[in-house]
Structures are given as C-alpha cells and as structure tokens.
Amino acid sequence: MNHSLLEALPAEHRQRLRHAPPGRELAAHPMLATLSDRRDFEGGGWLFERKLDGIRVLAVREGDGIRLLSRTGKPLDGSYPEIVDALAGQDCTDFTADGEIVAFAHGRTSFERLQQRMQLTDPRQARATGVAVTYYLFDLLRLEGTDVRSLPLRTRKQLLRGALHFRAPLRFTSHRNQGGQQLLDDACRRGWEGLIAKVADGRYVSRRSPDWLKLKCEAGQEFVIGGCTEPAGSRVGFGALLIGYHQGGRLRYAGKVGTGYDHATLLGLRRRLDELAVSRSPFAEPVRERGARWASPELVAQIGFTEWTREGKLRHPRFLGLRDDKDPRDVVREEPQQR
C-alpha cells in the first residue's frame, strides 16, 4: 500500500526521494521550532497547527521493532505501552514519524497530568496510573525505506495520513491554511498553549528552523534547577526552586519559583536535589536567597510565567513539571524572533 503512495507522487517530488538511513538515526535530531512574535501571515504559504502541551516523541518502526524516542534519544517505550501497541497494529511496517504525546484534563492538554506517566518506565505501572495519553502525529521522515524529509511539508502530511490508520490513541494533527492572528486569538480563548506556524512547502531539517514558528499564548519555557530554599512554616520539602538558563557558557540566574507544587512533588523533588547537592552555587551571579541549598544543574523544569522583568528575572513564575526529555546544556533564554 505504501509503495503506491510514493509512486503516486508527482515526478518532481519522486526525484527528491533517497534511500533512508535507519529510523533511529533519523530520529536523533528532530526539527525544532523558533519562538516568534510574528502575527502577520498575509500572502499564504503557511500551515497552522495547534501547539500541544506535552512531550515531543518520535516513533520508529522497522519490521516488528518499534521504538518511541524523546527528542534527546531517550527510549520511552515503557512509559507509553498503549502507543507502542497502536503502532504495532499498523499495516505499514517501516516508518519514522514525529509527534507529541499529551494527556487531557477537563478537555485541555495538561502537562501536569502527563507528569504521572513521564517518570515511569514499567509498562504495567504506566497503565495502572489511569492517565490516558494520546499521540498526535504531525510529520513523516521515513516511509518504506525511503527518506521523505526533502518533500514539502504538505506532501509529507498527506503521506502520513495515508500510511497510518488513526484510531485512539493515535491522532493525525490537523491544520489550517489561513488565519494567523485570528487563529491565535481563538486558540488563546480556548485555553490552548498557542500555535505552530509552518512553511507549507518547507523541508524537514534536523535543527532549529525559522520554517517552524512557535506562537505562544503565554510565556513559558524550560529552566535548569540550580538549587532550592529551605521550607518555612508548615511547608515540607523546600520553599522555592532556584532556576536559571545557559548563556555564553554560564548559568544565569532567572529567579525563584515557589508555587505549582503538591505535597508529593515537594518531597520527591527535595530528595532528588539532595542527591545532587553541591557546596557552591552553580549560578554565574550572586544569588542572595535566605536558606539557599545548591544542586548540580542536571534537572530541567517546565516553568510558566507572565513576563521577564527588566532585571532579567521571571514575573509570577509557577512550576509545571520536570522535563526529562531536555538536555540541561541546551536550555537557553528563548527570545522571540523579530519580524
């Protein structure tokens, strides 16, 4: 079936096709989006997809072998066994696809709810959480031994839709061809994280690219945890996380985060920070926080906030969860691409 999909392509597209490297090799360096404040998309040439609040996952199937990989190459098969089962049930036995795994709460994707699955590697424990997950697939890198990354995005999405059967827990990521600011406004009213704008005829490249733009409803990004403060009063675990980002080979301090934790998170995170304890601050500048305890900067947290202050600190930050799919060394301050 899938050979016919490739054979049905226009001649100019078939000429771009090449024999594909192994799927795991293709998945090692996914295409990444660039944060942008662009709102004017007049003139067409863009696709708009919903920005999902989950984790990036690449799916590799070669024969009976199926692997789910994070964007850093971490195996995730044990965390999401129902996704593995759904991919194993496909007629197509050779593909590498890109997508996002999410969990829903009250009709919206919830990174906090997904946290209950992210830290588990035993399939039985993952299923026992009762947290249902959905895998939204939005791109195709390899099909039946053929490298399709050089094809236009719109064509790759057509191949993806034709190659796989989309039944729960698999979903095809739909898109709009027009809208720009109006679509973003509607996404924000619905409580979505934002939109991803993609060049419709763009290729899939293994790097961060301006052909994919992140349009966010609310500020938020990953930060490295460099320590915490001691708890006060009835608080347990710790008072606030001390977080930062890399710039010029140094870890810059971005402020403290004291909200967004439940009881179990406070205790569990403190145990992990104690295991990473160091005697000196990992931050480049002085951090004058009472009761500060330092940690080797190896943990990455997803943080929501309203804005950056003039002093380079976060305003109204809140903890959303840990990210084990991001390399701490890659965490930098995200700056919107100017138009």
Give the mean model confidence (pLDDT) for residues 284-312.
Answer: 93
Per-residue model confidence (pLDDT) at position 1: 41
What are the tens digits of pLDDT across the range 25-68?
Answer: 999 999 999 998 887 787 779 999 999 989 999 999 999 999 99
The percent helix, strand, coil of the chain (3-state, each to 5) is: 20, 35, 40
Per-residue model confidence (pLDDT) at position 129: 94
Per-residue model confidence (pLDDT) at position 42: 74
Distances (CA, A) of 44 to 40, 47, 125: 10, 8, 46
State how far the Cα of 300 lies from the Cα of 315, in Å rounded to an integer.
Answer: 19
**Which residues are CB-contacts of 134 (< 8 A; sequence separation ≥ 6)?**
101, 102, 103, 104, 168, 169, 170, 171
Q: Is residue 1 classed as helix, strand or coil in its secondary structure?
A: coil
225 — pLDDT class (breaks 50, 70, 90): very high
Residues known to be catalytic? 51
Instruction: Assess contact for 219 and 166: CB atoms under 8 A.
Output: no
What is the β-pairing status of strands 277-278 and 292-304? antiparallel
187 — pLDDT class (breaks 50, 70, 90): confident
State how far the Cα of 194 lies from the Cα of 215, in Å rounded to an integer.
Answer: 6
337 — pLDDT class (breaks 50, 70, 90): low
**Which residues are CB-contacts of 210 (< 8 A; sequence separation ≥ 6)?**
34, 36, 337
Nearest to 32, CA basis, from 103, 112, 98:
98
Q: Tell me: pLDDT of 2 over 80.
A: no
- Residue 143 tokens, joined: 């099909």
What is the DSSP-derived secondary structure letter of residue 44?
A: -
Give the mean model confidence (pLDDT) for residues 63-75.
Answer: 94
Mean pLDDT, rounded, of the chain: 93
What are the tens digits of pLDDT across the range 134-145?
Answer: 999 999 999 999
Residue 10's identity, in one-letter code, is: P
245 — pLDDT class (breaks 50, 70, 90): very high
Nearest to 133, CA basis, from 220, 55, 195:
55
Nearest to 173, CA basis, from 146, 137, 203, 147:
137
Instruction: Assess contact for 293 and 228: CB atoms under 8 A.
Output: yes
Nearest to 65, CA basis, from 75, 53, 55, 79:
75
Nearest to 71, CA basis, from 121, 111, 26, 108:
26
Q: Which residues pair with 302 in a beta bridge?
A: 222, 321
DSSP string over 17-39: -EEPPPHHHHHTS--EEEEB---
State how far the Cα of 207 lies from the Cα of 313, in Å rounded to an integer.
Answer: 28
For residue 208, the number of C-alpha atoms closer than 13 Å in the C-beta half-sphere is 9
Model-wide pTM > 0.85: no
State how far the Cα of 267 lies from the Cα of 47, in Å rounded to an integer.
Answer: 43
- Residue 183 tokens, joined: 């679509």
Instruction: Assess contact for 131 and 114: CB atoms under 8 A.
Output: yes
Domains and CATH numbers, the chain: 2-216 (3.30.470.30), 220-330 (2.40.50.140)
